[in-house]
Chains A and B, each alone.
Chain A
Amino acid sequence: MSVAEKKPAGAAKDRVLSRRGITVTGGFAVAAVLLVLVPSFTDSFYTFVATRMLLLGLFATAYNTVFGFGGMSSLGHAAFFGIGGYTVGIAVTRWDWPPLVVLAAAVVLGAAVAAVFGVMCLRVRGIYLLLLTLALAQAIAGLAFYQTEWTGGDNGIPNIPRDGLPSSVREGDGYYMLTLVVVAVCVALLWMYQRSPLGMSVVGVRESEARMSATGYRTGRLRVVAFTVSGAFSAVAGVLEVYLQGSVSTANMSWLISADVLVFAILGGARHFLGPFLGAVLVTGLEVWVSTYTDRWTTVLGIVYIATALFLADGVLGRAGWAVRTTKSWWEKKSSPGGAAPPGAAADPAGVPAEVRA
């Protein structure tokens, strides 16, 4: 598209937008139908896997509000995930709370603890932020480990009943549907938050904290907000996980979960809203697939980590976008009347059209 072509775009804008709107709406409709139909194609094991993919996807999306959009690499999100889980474990086995109350309590607790994380991390950046969030999460995990009276210590809380849930969504396919609805609502809320002025200003802090603060934004407060939102939704994912598994233990708080979600985000593409979700789905799917061939899944996971670090800095979606751009510019160059591109143009990933260069 040349500069001259861009001018009259105002008139055609509505039409172009609506076409894009149709594509997006259609895409979502197809995706929704497919997601709803998943249980009818799969047996109970794969429905379990699909449920897990959904809730881990939500966790990764929630994580990304701090990581990808907030520009703060946290290594402490296992704490929020685990807090959600332990809320279910303790509230259901001790007081027999109904699921909605449990969910609300988990959201409040997750948000509150995340806000504390955010406040404590105000003065640190980069590697220090990673280590400080790690230390904070380990402190919480230490509570889970040693407050045995409440948490069951190393054994955790087994046999958490699902009696509070309506019987139609208690098991298998029904629970998948429940998870699908909760995850869809949460992801939609996260999307709205991310597109809101508040979410946008958090992105602004990522881009340039100095400029944002010079423009009058309270950047520290925005960082805390990002953590709070992220912690609340991570706790929801933790709640879903424990209702699914029926038990909670210190493994739900292990710092390796924080590392997992970090890798989900990077692998999928942290600059894209749905990238982390995709990352979670890919890694979980790979785990199931590899485990049918070998017991050494952890080794394969290690290889995935190494490959991610070396080749996927901008994630699968980032790579895909790059591939699309390259192909497009190659195609345009090939089909343009002049034909011959200036030397070196093939190496240009941005795909600047030949007319603009000349």
Chain B
Amino acid sequence: MLTWLTHSVNGLAYGSLLFLVASGLTITFGLMRTVNLAHGAFYLLGGYLAYDLTTNGTDYWLALLAGVLAAATGGMVVERAFLHRLAGSELPQIVLTLGVAYIIGDQILANYGGDPVAPPTPPGLEGPVTIGDWVFPKFRLVMIGVAIALAAVVGALLKYTPTGAKVRAAVDDEEIARAVGIRVPLVFLLVFGCGTGLAAFAGVWGGAFTSLAPDSGFEVLLLALIVVVVGGLGSIGGALLAAFLVGLVDQYGKVWFPEWALFTLYASVAALLAVRPRGLFGKAVFR
């Protein structure tokens, strides 16, 4: 009984990690409709930077902030220099961001080598929690809470603040948004920076959870992409639900039929997309 509880909570915790990664993607991909395959690379960038700084004695939260800011800046540079030229055409976006991901991943490999590293667990969250007979790592439990809180905050920001309204307006109808005085390029730039910053945050936290390696960025990226699409492009709640589902399917797949682990996950996602391309909570299919 307790084993099943552990498996379930483990699945939810992994799902939360996926949501942390996917939250940035829901904004840049789901909302802005910009495909960013370098998202996983920014995840790595944040994680490795925080790892580097903390091993050199920097305060944890400062290192986290540095990682997030670096990735946000990097993301904004990529958006301003390249991506905004390719608005609306996914294929070049995919090729370009994959190129960026290759460069970042290769430079990380050159500087830190191929061995996995792990940024430290946030201070105060080390060790287990004990509830009755049930023992579970505190960090993972907190992660679930953080994912839910993040979903609520991002959703509320988009829905209830003037900034959020501007973002939605810029996405829905760029021309009219410009006509009423919204600085659309600036909005997109900042939104993209937020997206990659969130990726870096996920990298620092997720790195402590699963550890980082130069090629783990793509692994996480694919799962996060799936979460975003299954949840429905642009739907934050959908992404959270999808993240939990994917986490649970992944965990139980590994427990019940390890030989079919990845297959069950991707095949069920493919089946869902084949019959319902817009995902669980997506609006009607664009294009």
B95-119 CB mask vs A (1 if < 8 Å, else 0) is 1101111110111011000000000
Instruction: Tell me if A309 and B101 are in contact (CB < 8 A).
Output: no
Q: Count chain B CB atoms within 10 A of each CB in A148, A149, A259, A301 and give the residue with the most.
A: A259
**Contact digits for A131-150, partner B, Cβ 8 Å, 1 yes 0 no:** 11011101111110111110
In the complex, whether B275 has a CB less than 8 A from a CB of chain A is yes
Bound CA span A140–B263, Å? 7
B285 surroundings in chain A (CB, below 8 A): 124-125, 128
When A131-B229, A135-B270 are in contact, do A298 and B35 touch as well, CB less than 8 Å? no
Q: Assess whether B187 is interfacial by the CB under 8 Å rule.
A: no
Q: Is A313 on the interface with B (CB-CB < 8 A)?
A: yes
Within the assembled complex, what's the spacing in Å between the Cα atoms of A123 and B287?
12
Q: Tell me if A146 and B261 are in contact (CB < 8 A).
A: yes
A146 touches B263 (CB 8 A): yes
| Pair B107/A141 contact, Cβ less than 8 Å | no
User: Given A126-B90, A136-B270 in contact, is the A306-B100 Cβ separation under 8 Å?
Assistant: yes
Interface footprint category on A: 35 or more
- CB < 8 Å: which of B102, B218, B262 contacts A299? B102
Docked CA distance A302–B107 (Å): 11
Judged by a CB distance under 8 angstroms, whether A305 is at the interface is: yes
Cβ–Cβ contact B222 & A302, under 8 A: no
Q: Which residue of B lies closest to A75 (CB)?
A: B94
* B-chain residues with CB within 8 Å of residue A143 when the two chains form the complex: 260, 262-263
Judged by a CB distance under 8 angstroms, whether B180 is at the interface is no
> In the complex, which residues 238-267 of chain A have their Cβ closer than 8 Å to any Cβ of chain B?
255-256, 259, 262-263, 266
Looking at the assembled complex, report how far the CB atom of B51 sits from the nearest CB atom of chain A, in whole angstroms: 21
In the complex with contacts A299-B102, A304-B99, A313-B259 CB distance below 8 A: no
Within the complex, what minimum Cβ distance (angstroms) separates A258 from chain B? 11
| A142 CA to B101 CA, complexed, in Å | 23
Q: Is B236 part of the contact surface with A, judged by Cβ < 8 Å?
A: no
Q: Determine which of A120, A123, A127, A295 lies in contact with B35 in the assembled complex, contact meaning CB atoms within 8 Å.
A: A127
Interface membership of chain B positions 265-287, coded 1 if the CB is closer than 8 angstroms to chain A and 0 otherwise: 11101110111010000000111
Question: Is residue B226 contacting chain A, with contact meaning CB distance below 8 A?
Answer: yes
**Whole-angstrom CA separation of A309 from B261 in the bound complex:** 35
- The distance in angstroms between the C-alpha atoms of A130 and B90, with both chains bound, is 10
A230 interface residue (CB < 8 Å to B):
no
Q: Does B18 contact A (CB under 8 A)?
A: no
Picked from B82, B93, B266, the residue with its CB within 8 Å of the CB of A139 is B266
In chain A, positions 278-325 with a C-beta closer than 8 Å to chain B are: 295-296, 298-299, 301-306, 308-310, 313
Which of B92, B106, B270 sits near A313, CB closer than 8 Å? B92
Question: How many angstroms from the CA of A167 to the CA of B37 in the assembled complex?
Answer: 45
Q: Output the nearest chain A residue to B257 by Cβ-Cβ distance.
A: A146
A329 at the interface (CB under 8 A from B): no
Q: How far apart are B75's CB and chain A's nearest CB, in angstroms?
A: 15
By a CB distance below 8 angstroms, the chain A residues around B105 are: 298
Q: Is A64 an interface residue (CB 8 A)?
A: no
Query: What are the interface flags for A75-105 relative to B under an 8 Å C-beta threshold, 1 for contact and 0 otherwise?
Result: 1000000000000000000000000000000
In the bound complex, how far is the Cα of B274 from the Cα of A313, in angstroms?
A: 29
Q: Evaluate contact between A124 and B277: CB separation under 8 angstroms.
A: yes
Residues of A close to B106: CB separation below 8 A: 296, 298-299, 302
B129 to chain A, nearest CB (A): 32
Inter-subunit contact B96/A132 (CB<8 Å): no
Q: How many whole Å from B42's CB to the nearest CB in chain A? A: 14
Cα–Cα, bound, A14→B39 (Å): 57
Interface residues of B in 217-241 (CB under 8 A from A): 218, 222, 225-226, 229
Residues of chain B with a CB closer than 8 A to A75's CB = 94
* A136–B129 CA distance with the chains assembled, in angstroms: 39
Using Cβ atoms and an 8 Å threshold, which residues of chain B touch A145?
Answer: 262
Given B95, B96, B103, B267, which contacts A262 in the complex, CB threshold below 8 Å? Answer: B95
**Is A201 close to B, CB under 8 A?**
no
Q: Is the CB of A139 within 8 A of B267?
A: yes
**Contact digits for B167-197, partner A, Cβ 8 Å, 1 yes 0 no:** 0000000000000000000000000000000
Residue of A nearest to B104 (CB): A302
A51: B residues at CB distance < 8 A = none
B234 to chain A, nearest CB (A): 13
- Interface residue ranges, A against B (CB under 8 Å): 73, 75, 120-128, 130-132, 134-136, 138-143, 145-149, 255-256, 259, 262-263, 266, 295-296, 298-299, 301-306, 308-310, 313
Task: A256-B218, A298-B109, A310-B85 are known; give 16 further A-B pairs, CB within 8 A.
Answer: A120-B271, A123-B274, A127-B35, A128-B273, A136-B267, A136-B270, A143-B262, A146-B258, A147-B259, A262-B94, A298-B105, A299-B102, A301-B99, A309-B82, A309-B99, A310-B82
A-B contact pairs, 7 of them (CB 8 A): A127-B287, A139-B267, A140-B263, A256-B218, A266-B92, A302-B103, A310-B85
Which residues of B are in contact with A by a Cβ distance under 8 Å? 35, 82, 85-86, 90-96, 98-103, 105-107, 109-110, 218, 222, 225-226, 229, 258-263, 265-267, 269-271, 273-275, 277, 285-287
Closest 5 CB pairs of A and B: A142-B262, A305-B99, A302-B102, A309-B96, A302-B103
